[in-house]
Amino acid sequence: MATGQERSTSPAPSTASKTRGDDYVYFERSMEGFSSDAVSRATAAKLKLESYYKLAVDVAIERNGRRVELEQKINQGVIPNEAKEREIRKYRKLESQHLRLRRTKIRLTDFRTVKVIGKGAFGEVRLVQKVDTGKVYAMKTLQKAEMLKRDQASTKLAHVRAERDLLAESTSSWVVQLFYSFQDPLYLYLIMEFLPGGDLMTMLMKYDIFSEDVTRFYMAECILAIEAVHDLGYIHRDIKPDNILIDKNGHLKLSDFGLSTGLHKTTDGDYYKRLIDQDKQRDPARNSVQVNAIHLTMSREQIATWKANRRKLLILPSGTPDYIAPEVFMLKGYGKECDWWSLGAIMFECLVGYAPFCSENPSDTYKKIIEWPSFLCFPDEVHLSHEAENLIRSMMTWATQRFGVNEIKGHPFFYGADWENLRYIAPPFVPALSSITDTTYFPTDELGNLPDQLEVVEQVGSDKDLAFLGFTFKRFT
């Protein structure tokens, strides 16, 4: 008999001996006698079985919840039998459709690429059309092999799962909706709603600054979007203008919860500290917090350069740290209050025309943020109301002193805001669209001529592919 199943005649535990006879045979479970290949295969089988049955149980719980909801609905008040029968038939039809959707395997070939509308360090965003229905979606792709190659792969995989889980759980009108997620040996895919109005960064680049009234509207919608994410138990950590998308009606939704920008090293304090160390090696007289005044005093020309280069920063692994809270960099722990700092930085840019700590390189921006009390200043040539400046300062301060959502909502800057009906108020900008596939508000010209087909990249082995187990999702609507 294999070592892993050797008998043991050692005395039984005292608790067990009370219920089992003296002749009961015990086994010592050990993996010492198995090869590493057998152990890895057993572990893979265990993970796959756990994932399979977890999904089955979750589906059963959801289905039971829908049945209970139906029973409560038809048992409320006096409902004619005919109406009850109609509700039951409707329920059965929907459940049948749900089961059919669960059995359907979603593949890349189910979608036709219309246009590439975005590119990041880990993949692309494509406007796609589902072949059988003609419905339009935004498809995010992420290279598996690239994720596993880069530093802190386990952390990044956790971020991918966090984004997928948040989008799968969310039904909020303030969060981009996920319809499907699936994978193949090369890529992960997220099929999401397409928001044709572009992003807030594109609007800022076009209009330079907003009025306080326009800023008030967009900041109010951002507050409700961030609050929705926090209510789901998540922290965004990387809120910035290019993660705030505009739908066909001109209202905002939050996107990018870790898959693209959240996985960049913008949220890695060690990365920026390494940049500082490189500066020290070039100039040993400078310490990690000393600031070069020439670099950190931005002229109009330098600000213009920052604006011109900001779109290019999105496709670099380092990203841009302009909107990240100081406590995220300091590696001392942080909570959801870090998102309110980011919103303060965005509000500053909306009213002033550039980010509060913009610099010609990320390391200088990092240093400014760490030493923010010395560098958060409002230019004399830009007139802001007392309420606007006070709100920005109340969000862009140390985490322990920073305003929370209720204090922000109650600030005089938002006096008279109808928080319950924001989504029904006419927005300051509504995209003029010619079709459901209109990409006018996306800077696709900057991307060049990219192929319709995804690049054939390195394939991930079956052992490493276990890291992406359970990624698949289908939304039942």
CA 35 to chain centre: 40
| HSE-CB of 283 using CA atoms within 13 angstroms | 10
Q: Which positions are annotated as active-site residues?
A: 238
- Count of beta carbons in the 10 Å neighbourhood of residue 256: 24
Q: What is d(CA 320, CA 120) in angstroms, rounded to the nearest whole number?
A: 12
- ∠ CA 394-399-405, nearest 5°, is 55
Structure tokens at 8: 């043991």
Q: Is 273 annotated as a binding residue?
A: no
Structure tokens at 112: 């036709």
The string over 162-189, giving b where at least 16 C-beta atoms fall within 10 Å of a residue's C-beta and e elsewhere, is bbbbbbeebebebbbbbbbbbbeebbbb
- Count of beta carbons in the 10 Å neighbourhood of residue 112: 13
CA 134 to chain centre: 27
HEC readout, 356-400: CCCCCCHHHHHHHHHCHHHHCCCCCCCCCCHHHHHHHHHHCCCHH
Structure tokens at 147: 């994720």
Radius of gyration of the chain (CA): 27
Crossing angle of helices 81-103 and 36-74, rounded to 10°: 160
Q: Taking a C-beta distance cutoff of 8 angstroms, is the pair 282, 229 a contact?
A: no
Q: Which residues are annotated as a binding site for ATP?
A: 140
Q: Which residues are annotated as a binding site?
A: 140
